[in-house]
């Protein structure tokens, strides 16, 4: 089965930050975009900016911590537009914490939310993509999952390392069904969440420690998503694309 580049994209955590940049880029490329977020009013504001009549961009509430919510979102998408051709697992809980005093509840909340969301997104929507014989999945990992983290907590770094493994698992499982699964691992980017997580008195030191001397541009990450979700991206799967200003070189 052959699909045109004008597909149906589901973006989690699309109400703001990196997710909104990704949703806007995919919409600009001609895809219909379902913007999902627990903050549905903010996601709806972005969707209405992109498509006032809701014909090419819509928002739905999605708490990514639970598998059944992905089942509901998939059904909503199929009812309105059809089976997704693109899934971007972007939603995550970001939280700084002291390693040696990090409590069990905080650890489990961040780890399970961040990893479960990617796992069940790939499982539920990936299965629907496999059934139609085509799909592109991009999971947002992080530099923290590669180097153990610096400004973020151990639970966040652990979860992002798990996402890298989940990406490989589903890439192998879905490759024969026309579905690619890749991840992107950003370092510090010029986003509100970075400035909210890193105290102002530490942010300058963080930037000074980046070899290129500045934070990343989230619009470039959106460009990377566009490349990985293109029709001709069939030969890239199970990969992790780094964008970290030289903080992690391999």
Task: Verify whether residue 156 is a known catalytic residue.
Answer: yes
* Annotated catalytic residue, options 3, 134, 156, 248: 156
d(CA 193, CA 183): 20
d(CA 206, CA 214): 9
Sheet holding 135-140, edge to edge: 57-61, 32-37, 8-12, 86-89, 135-140, 179-186, 240-243
The angle at the Cα of 141, spanning 138 to 147, to the nearest 5 degrees, equals 150
CA 158 and chain centroid, separation? 16
DSSP structure string for 160-186: HHHHHHHHHHHHHHHGGGTEEEEEEEE
* Assigned token pair, 79: 């009812």
Q: Which of 85, 67, 70 is nearest to 4 (CA)?
A: 85
Cite the active site residues: 156
């Amino acid at each position: 089965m052959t699909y045109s580049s004008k597909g149906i994209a589901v973006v989690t955590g699309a109400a703001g930050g990196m997710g909104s940049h990704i949703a806007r880029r995919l919409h600009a490329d001609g895809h219909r975009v379902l913007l999902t977020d627990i903050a549905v009013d903010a996601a709806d504001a972005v969707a209405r900016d992109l498509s006032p009549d809701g014909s090419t961009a819509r928002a739905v509430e999605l708490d990514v911590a639970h598998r059944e919510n992905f089942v509901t979102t998939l059904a909503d998408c199929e009812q309105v537009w059809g089976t997704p051709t693109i899934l971007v697992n972007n939603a995550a809980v970001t939280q700084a914490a002291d390693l040696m005093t990090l409590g069990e509840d905080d650890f489990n909340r961040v780890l399970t939310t961040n990893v479960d969301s990617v796992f069940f997104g790939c499982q539920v929507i990936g299965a629907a993509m496999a059934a139609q014989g085509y799909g592109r999945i991009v999971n947002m990992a992080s530099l923290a999952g590669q180097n153990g983290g610096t400004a973020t907590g151990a639970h966040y770094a652990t979860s992002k390392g798990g996402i890298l493994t989940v990406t490989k698992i589903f890439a192998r499982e879905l490759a024969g069904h026309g579905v690619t699964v890749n991840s992107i691992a950003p370092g510090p980017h010029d986003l509100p969440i970075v400035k909210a997580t890193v105290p102002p008195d530490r942010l300058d030191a963080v930037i000074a420690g980046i070899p290129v001397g500045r934070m990343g541009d989230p619009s470039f990450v959106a460009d990377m998503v566009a490349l990985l979700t293109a029709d001709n991206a069939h030969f890239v799967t199970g990969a992790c694309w780094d964008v970290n200003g030289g903080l992690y070189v391999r």
